[in-house]
Amino acid sequence: MGGAVSAGEDNDELIDNLKEAQYIRTELVEQAFRAVDRADYYLEEFRENAYKDLAWKHGNIHLSAPCIYSEVMEALELQPGLSFLNLGSGTGYLSSMVGLILGPFGVNHGVELHSDVIEYAKQKLDFFIRTSSSFDKFDFCEPSFVPGNCLELSPGCSQYDRVYCGAGVQKQHEDYMKSLLKVGGILVMPLEEKLTKITRTGPSAWETKKILAVSFAPLIQPCHSESGKSRLVQLLFRAVAGHAVGSRGHTWQGGPRTAGPEHPRPWVPVPRGAAVRPVAASLLAGGGGLARPGPAVQPLGGQTDCRPA
């Protein structure tokens, strides 16, 4: 259940320890971890354990150990402007860190099985946006959370640049998970008790790397409901029209765009105060090309229970 590094007195000390132990290896990942205080995603009565390298679970609410999140963030090789799909998005802690790297032209989708956890994640996201000083330094790709089961995505759905699954995947579902990934994309998931990084190098070509032994709760099989699928399609399609807010005082609404003058996409500036939440400036200059996940994308989910073996 973690315990690979010493406990910290605060978030910065925890990150220092993760760096010293080589779980955090890049500056971009370090900045994202320092910008999002892990304790803010705990229930108040459990905050004293937030800076230990341990997983935490209370009812349906769960956080993996910091060393696991560190390995996941490093393995994803995130860049500004990419599209990200978080299967079993939980509290939104990981999605918020990812959003700081993706920036205003990224896509940040999370799908979670439990409706109470989605409400918890939305509350934590609101608190982060209202109170964090991180927005003096970052643009933010705000995560969108929708309810659903991650094994119910349409076979014809659009694909993502980066995918993370926070529930244990068995061999029979490996190809299904790979199908969510664009060529050149990276999938990180616990596959048969190993945290695994899979890179799609071609339409039918893959590179696989085992990162470390872990123990996750398995994916929950869906109850096949066509009406449920239809509702989830609508929810995730709405999430495509997510927004990012910058220090310019505008919210840019609409789906992700392909960066560069060859592929212009209209964006609509919305004045500050028009039913949006303020965020702010920039982590990195530049963006990456991405394809819009279209309306055929259907939600997924699966509750995470992650423990290093």
Active site residue ranges:
64
* Distance (Å) of CA 36 to CA 2, 93, 230, 299: 20, 8, 34, 26
Residue 196 bridge partners (DSSP): 189, 210
In whole angstroms, what is the distance from residue 94 CA to residue 68 CA? Answer: 11
In whole angstroms, what is the distance from residue 294 CA to residue 48 CA? Answer: 42
DSSP 135: G
Q: Which pair of tokens denotes residue 4?
A: 């690979």
Of 42, 18, 41, the closest CA to residue 31 belongs to 18
Pure H helices in the chain: 11-20, 27-35, 66-76, 93-102, 115-131, 174-178, 226-240
In whole angstroms, what is the distance from residue 274 CA to residue 72 CA? Answer: 36
If residue 244 lies in a helix (H) or strand (E), which one and from where to where? strand 243-245
Q: Which pair of tokens denotes residue 123?
A: 């509350």
In whole angstroms, what is the distance from residue 69 CA to residue 23 CA? Answer: 9
In whole angstroms, what is the distance from residue 105 CA to residue 243 CA? Answer: 9
